[in-house]
């Protein structure tokens, strides 16, 4: 069987949907799983999601991208100055998942070394022969190697509603849609798992969509 690439959208601590989706994908060691970021926050099982992702990566080739929520989390554990913004975006759920309600335990102290390696090893984007994979999108008209990192994890309308003028199609998450967004130059696969929607993956190059609990 020809190896496949599966890109997977925003998980946001939804362990049950991730488990269901991975079972449906049923990847082999020849396949590649590309996760587009936002593994944590808002959902109630962020630590368990990261545990599972690390386990999966021990058996299957995985590429993990940085989302805006991982970026906020790293800023929080390094400096702590963005607490209000981070917690208002669901970061309190991630802290709770690591400290398990222990009010005097720091999330930094509760973070396993394997999880630190996971978060600090996240990529800003990934590119293969046919696609560009990124969390939020790219700034149109700017070469990929000159993109501002904040755009890669935060951009929305300026990317979604403008042509990329690139030879490769962009696979992205970040902005939730009821169903996957399919345009000639881009595919959006965040379908709002943490808001009651499905967790979505796209199999490439077949353009086959796989969703949790559907």
User: Residue 157 is part of a domain; what is its CATH number?
Assistant: 3.60.21.10
Per-residue pLDDT at 2 exceeds 90: no
171 touches 145 (CB < 8 A)? no
User: Burial of 160 by CB count in 10 Å (0-12 exposed, 13-18 middle, 19+ buried)?
Assistant: middle
Report the predicted TM-score, pTM, of the whole model to 2 decimal places: 0.96
Angle CA 22–134–176, to nearest 5:
70
Question: How many domains would you assign to the chain?
Answer: 1
pLDDT bracket for residue 105 (50, 70, 90): confident
Boundaries of domain holding 71? 5-211
38 touches 11 (CB < 8 A)? yes
């Amino acid at each position: 069987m020809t190896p496949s690439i599966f890109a997977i959208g925003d998980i946001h601590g939804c362990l049950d949907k991730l488990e269901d989706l991975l079972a449906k994908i049923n990847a082999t060691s020849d396949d590649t799983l590309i996760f587009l970021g936002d593994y944590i926050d808002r959902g109630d099982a962020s630590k368990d999601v990261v545990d599972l992702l690390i386990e999966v990566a021990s058996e299957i080739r995985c590429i993990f991208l940085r989302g805006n929520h991982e970026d906020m989390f790293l800023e929080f554990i390094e400096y702590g100055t963005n607490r209000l913004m981070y917690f208002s975006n669901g970061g309190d759920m991630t802290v709770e998942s690591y400290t398990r309600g222990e009010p005097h335990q720091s999330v930094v102290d509760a973070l396993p070394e394997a999880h630190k390696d996971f978060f600090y090893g996240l990529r800003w984007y990934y590119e293969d022969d046919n696609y560009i994979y990124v969390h939020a999108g790219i700034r149109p008209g700017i070469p990929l190697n000159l993109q501002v990192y904040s755009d890669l994890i935060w951009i929305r309308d300026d990317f979604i509603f403008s042509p990329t003028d690139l030879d490769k199609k962009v696979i992205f998450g970040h902005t939730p849609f009821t169903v996957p967004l399919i345009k000639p130059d881009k595919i959006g696969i965040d379908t709002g798992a943490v808001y009651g929607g499905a967790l979505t993956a796209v199999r490439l190059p077949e353009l086959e969509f796989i969703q949790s609990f559907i």
